[in-house]
Amino acid sequence: MRLSTWSLMGLSVLTACSGYAPPANVSDMTQAQLVSLMGPPDTVRQTATGTRLEFPRGPRGQHTWFVDVDPVGKIIKTEQVLTEPNFNQITPGMTQEEVRQRLGRPSETQGLGRSRGVVWNYRYENYFCQWFQVEISQEQQVRSTGYGQPPECMGHDDVIIP
């Protein structure tokens, strides 16, 4: 009895994760097939070559998959965009729309005091407890970028670790 319970639990975990990321080989897949596996995308954008589907995923949004689809509905390419090389392409003066087109929606946003704008926070997989931050001005342009520490990683003086 225990073996079947563990088998069912393992199977349910595997099936729950099956829609997390696009399959490794998408060369013969259509947009409809991918959406049936992954669920509806968070955002759909028109591009010069067709359509881009955005799938934010993971614990606290640590992955965002961009899936490019040609005009007839075939998958062209998939990419996990929350990476340091992509973060390095975000520079002051870019518009917030350009940031969204490169990184997707942020994991969290924080307003800045005195109506100075907002900070977009992007969680991503890394060995340090950090996230990428983009400061967006009232004019909807990137003012600055950098890495910060998310709230769950900040030390607490009242915590004693044995």
pLDDT in tens, 73-125: 999 999 999 999 999 999 999 999 999 999 999 999 999 888 789 999 999 98
Q: Looking at the structure, tell me whether residues 94 and 43 fall in a common domain.
A: no
pLDDT at residue 157 greater than cutoff 70:
no
Residues 67 and 98 in one domain: no
| Whether 60 and 131 share a structural domain | no
Parent domain of 43: 21-80
SS3 assignment for the chain = CHHHHHHHHHHHHHHHHCCCCCCCCCCCCEHHHHHHHHCCCCEEEEECCEEEEEEEECHHHCEEEEEEECCCCEEEEEEECCCHHHHCCCCCCCEHHHHHHHHCCCCEEEECHHHCCEEEEEECCCCCCCEEEEEECCCCEEEEEEEECCHHHCCCCCCCCC
The model's pTM = 0.79
Q: Are residues 101 and 147 in the same domain?
A: yes
Any domain includes 12 = no
> Tens digits of per-residue pLDDT, 21-80?
888 888 889 999 999 999 999 999 999 999 999 999 876 778 999 999 999 999 999 999
